[in-house]
Amino acid sequence: MTDYTLHCGDCVDYMATMADATYSAVFCDPPYGIKFMNRLWDHGVPSTAVWQEVYRVCKPGAILMAFGGTRTWHRLAVNIEDAGWEMFDTIMYVYGSGFPKSHDISKAIDKAAGAEREVIGTKSYAYPDT
């Protein structure tokens, strides 16, 4: 049986301690750069420098499969390619649901124009004590 070790922390810090040509493949799910819930860690896809370090620790001919967001995968792909990886194929898994974000276009137009909407009524709700 093969032993496995899980390293918790920043992968860039860990890779800095590794020898060249260690891995035969990398499968990862990096930040998508969609500002998910406005979290700082998701304000961009990993930089070219990160993918250069991944390239360094991989053996020649190693494969990389990195998941990306539907709106930002192109930024991820450019950074990976700029780091020295050669692109052969792109696999897309498009799924029609996810974290819903409603957007009222009429409100966005009014906001952009600086228009104030007239309040035509209010409604209050009575919640039971908990």
Per-10-residue mean pLDDT of the chain, 130 residues long, equals 80 93 93 88 93 97 93 95 94 72 83 90 74
pTM over 0.75: no
CB of 81 closer than 8 Å to CB of 73? no
In the prediction, which pLDDT does 129 show? Answer: 67
Residue 84 half-sphere exposure toward CB, CA atoms < 13 A: 14
51 and 83 Cβ atoms separated by less than 8 Å: yes
